[in-house]
């Protein structure tokens, strides 16, 4: 599935939407939609560097993991 391809593309480090689209073959607008959905689910996060927006898999916080079912 396309959403899995997008997540897998981030497995080897942060990328821009264009880089993810190029690597997966998924159109950039669709990649953006998936990324925004993943942000809501807490799976990915973004940051800005050198004027570009990069996306990466969200690192698990120990406290977040400990209290996720509370």
Cβ neighbours, 10 Å, residue 24: 19
Q: Are 44 and 38 in contact (CB under 8 A)?
A: yes
Q: Tell me: the pLDDT tens digits for 11-67?
A: 999 999 999 999 999 999 999 999 999 999 999 999 999 999 999 999 876 666 666
Q: Report the predicted TM-score, pTM, of the whole model to 2 decimal places.
A: 0.82
Structural contact between residues 41 and 35, judged by C-beta atoms closer than 8 angstroms: no
Where do the domains of the chain lie, and which CATH numbers do they carry? 2-66 (1.10.10.10)
Helices (H), 10-57: 17-24, 28-40
């Amino acid at each position: 599935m396309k959403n899995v391809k997008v997540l897998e593309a981030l497995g080897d480090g942060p990328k821009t939407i264009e880089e993810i689209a190029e690597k997966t073959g998924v159109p950039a607008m669709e990649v953006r939609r998936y990324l925004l959905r993943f942000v809501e689910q807490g799976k990915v996060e973004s940051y800005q560097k050198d004027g570009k927006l990069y996306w990466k898999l969200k690192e698990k916080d120990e406290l977040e993991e400990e209290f996720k079912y509370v």
